[in-house]
Structure 1
């Protein structure tokens, strides 16, 4: 199996795939992971061929619609460690040895900067090996969303008060190279914002008692980060180092405060500043408009207000993110049938916010351990149907989806795309979902 994966990686690395394409390049068989013969692959359209030629000539199209939706996974806990997702490694004395630390910030304090850097370097190197990108290819994945923290840009870390691991950028480039070599579309997301956009959330990189992001100083640091990241992406997208060539979008902040806690300055101040910082850097670099990055915002359904309200009138290449964890939605009755109905019929886009992508979702139910919702064989058919129904619904109403998450260090496959593949809950061939009948009787 290892030899098969190594050979496959070498073959796929020579490809110049650029767009999400409906014809699989690899598949899982009874003999293991195998390349699909060229004769069985669907030919690209003339439009796509032109885009691929442009990519080979260094004229990259960072957003060109393929014939299938974005179908992807998040690389959760890779660059922003969430202990619940990878608790065995987090607590293992021979690995991260973070004990009861609640976030990256706390673990760095526990070890001191030098030792913490070494621990996190090893994590970044090992957590998602290159061979797993071949599994994603075999499973029909064409997109990866990568959460990152502002501390990847060392220059904006407060040296006397902020403790984060250093040296992640080269690993981010390496991971983007693996994804680009396989033709994946790459969505980078500012998951951890300066000061923390939410309190007591490890996904911000720090378990802050209050959200400290919503002020001019931290907005400024975040826009500095986005400008820097834009330059890194474009400069590592061509020439001798083109590992980030398939990065097509940057999300300006993950899951800001919403609904009754929403902060008006987020839309009035930060969103336009973030958008302008990315476009100003692209203008400075001489990036043509058709090679511009998409700039991502949480959509209106998230509850932080209309993200377009204060953007410049000529704003272009924007993309909007919805996160759909049904377990937290009190409006959906907690029954199997109602979860399927919601998946099939709930339009997760907002008027005027096109394209929308459901960039986080899972098949984790409201009561994970009760007999009605647990992972027993009696419920397996429900989870299979729920996944298929969700895919049908998201692809019906939006540009596509990225599941949260690829890897969960637990046997609970309801949060793990890889685990659900192994359990037979998620199909290896996503093209079978449309004809699965999961939404029959609902739409």
Structure 2
């Protein structure tokens, strides 16, 4: 039977033209533009991938796949992108009452950032992102662009970074810079390309290392500069930013020139040396991207929104050992993301009563608000448990989590779908927004 566990609560979900929805009810578009092979095991094998217990030791990620199949990777992935997320999926998301999607993206979406001598990823994803955003916009569904897989890899041993490895190199000046360039490019495209008109937020980093002692410089080099980079781009494009302005007027109507002029001529707290360097590199890349997306270059005809984007981060309580507070980085609208999966342990004892007691007494919204991390949404959660859950419990578990997370700004379920195949087995029962339970 099918269980539409989200339908009733969402019937009155509202959608606004810009900014954060009044309440976020959404799904992640996982394994679309950042593929996690555990979610589509049969398709991955059909593509030419492999399965293994240690994902760093076989073709289990995009990096390994592109390295193994350099001549065909673009064609194979383009087929995956075209079929994994379709108009039918948009229709189902809309019919279920969702008003938001969170779209995991890799840094390689901006192809000029990839060192093709040492890094291996498919090309063409940004065209698929444009296609998907166009479909979502037409359906009235808003989007968060989530920088899910960072240059150099931000977390060890995870498929979601695009490369399963213990060699974590994101926390370096070189890769911090590349992340800021990616931010500048994506912020500019979001404001300029009409198909990106439903995007209300860009998320800086998905699931950084939880131990803050291992993320040197993250607060200043990423959090502070991420927000300043977004706001600097907006100022260059003529978008008002609360409490900030350019040092001099920009006369050109060419948006890449405007960004370069702003980087070269502006002073003040927003235009730090790191931000200026990111803008200058982004300006040259944007020439290439604008051609790829068939955008043109005339700022006066392209700019479709003068509302600043919502910058967003994993919340302060994602990390421990004296983390930097992302609230300190805020300039203009900002939101905070928390992820909660009981199945990984450390939250509640492995039985139904303990799970329900825990979720019904969850205080994360209040704890975050006390530290300035508000509005808070739960950008990833699911139904997997550490015990053999009954169908009846899964109904209760879904409703209890929705209620708890709705104390904040709302929630985004992981995932909009997983593969339905013999190899996937029972995977969809707890990871798919529309649960298919076979008994």
Q: Is the shorter-chain TM-score for this pair beyond 0.5, marking a shared fold?
A: yes
Residues 329 and 300 (structure 1 numbering): CA distance in 2 closer, same or farther, change over 3 Å? farther
Tell me the distance in 1 between the aligned counterparts of 2:136 and 2:10.
14
> Once structures 1 and 2 are overlaid, which stretch shifts more, 205-214 or 257-266?
257-266
Q: Which position in structure 1 is the counterpart of 2:19?
A: 63
Q: Which position in structure 1 is the counterpart of 2:337?
A: 321
Q: Which position in structure 1 is the counterpart of 2:60?
A: 102
- Aligned residue-pair number: 349
The aligned runs of 1:101-140 (5 Å cut-off) are 101-112=59-70, 114-140=71-97
Match of 1:301 among 308, 317, 327: 317
CA-to-aligned-CA distance 1:138-194 (integer Å, 9 cap, x gap): 111111000000001011111211100011111001111111111112011001100
Q: Which position in structure 2 is the counterpart of 1:279?
A: 231
Is the CA contact (8 Å cut-off) linking 1:320 and 1:356 kept in structure 2?
A: yes
Secondary structure in 2 matching 1:291 = coil
Secondary structure in 1 matching 2:105 = strand
Tell me the distance in 2 between the aligned counterparts of 1:81 and 1:118.
15
CA-to-aligned-CA distance 1:407-438 (integer Å, 9 cap, x gap): 11134234433441x449xxxxxxxxxxxxxx
Secondary structure in 2 matching 1:270 = helix
* Superposed CA RMSD: 2.2
Q: Which position in structure 2 is the counterpart of 1:81?
A: 35
CA-to-aligned-CA distance 1:217-239 (integer Å, 9 cap, x gap): 00000000010001111111xxx
Tell me the distance in 2 between the aligned counterparts of 1:419 and 1:309.
35
Is 1:388 aligned to residue 342 of structure 2? no
Is 1:224 aligned to residue 242 of structure 2? no
Secondary structure in 1 matching 2:124 = coil
Q: Which position in structure 2 is the counterpart of 1:258?
A: 210
- Could you tell me which runs of 5 or more consecutive residues in structure 2 were left unpaired when the two chains were aligned: 1-8, 52-58, 242-305
Q: Which position in structure 2 is the counterpart of 1:91?
A: 45
Tell me the distance in 2 between the aligned counterparts of 1:298 and 1:306.
11
Secondary structure in 2 matching 1:243 = helix
Residues 419 and 413 (structure 1 numbering): CA distance in 2 closer, same or farther, change over 3 Å? farther
Is 1:361 aligned to residue 317 of structure 2? no
Tell me the distance in 2 between the aligned counterparts of 1:75 and 1:98.
21
Kindly state the Cα deviation for residue 260 of structure 1 after the two structures are TM-superposed. Answer: 6.4
Tell me the distance in 1 between the aligned counterparts of 2:226 and 2:68.
33
CA-to-aligned-CA distance 1:96-126 (integer Å, 9 cap, x gap): 21234121000011111x3000000111111
CA-to-aligned-CA distance 1:387-423 (integer Å, 9 cap, x gap): 0000011112x10000111111134234433441x44
Tell me the distance in 2 between the aligned counterparts of 1:272 and 1:90.
38
Residues 322 and 64 (structure 1 numbering): CA distance in 2 closer, same or farther, change over 3 Å? closer
CA-to-aligned-CA distance 1:335-394 (integer Å, 9 cap, x gap): 101111222220222021111110000111124xxxxx15xxxx1100110000000111
Is the CA contact (8 Å cut-off) linking 1:332 and 1:339 kept in structure 2?
A: yes
Is the CA contact (8 Å cut-off) linking 1:294 and 1:317 kept in structure 2?
A: yes
Tell me the distance in 2 between the aligned counterparts of 1:119 and 1:229.
25
Residues 65 and 72 (structure 1 numbering): CA distance in 2 closer, same or farther, change over 3 Å? closer
Kindly state the Cα deviation for residue 131 of structure 1 after the two structures are TM-superposed. Answer: 1.0
Secondary structure in 2 matching 1:72 = strand
Is the CA contact (8 Å cut-off) linking 2:28 and 2:416 kept in structure 1?
A: yes
Is the CA contact (8 Å cut-off) linking 2:10 and 2:96 kept in structure 1?
A: no
- Could you tell me which runs of 5 or more consecutive residues in structure 1 were left unpaired when the two chains were aligned: 1-19, 25-43, 52-60, 237-241, 368-372, 425-443
Is the CA contact (8 Å cut-off) linking 1:98 and 1:110 kept in structure 2?
A: no
Kindly state the Cα deviation for residue 22 of structure 1 after the two structures are TM-superposed. Answer: 5.1
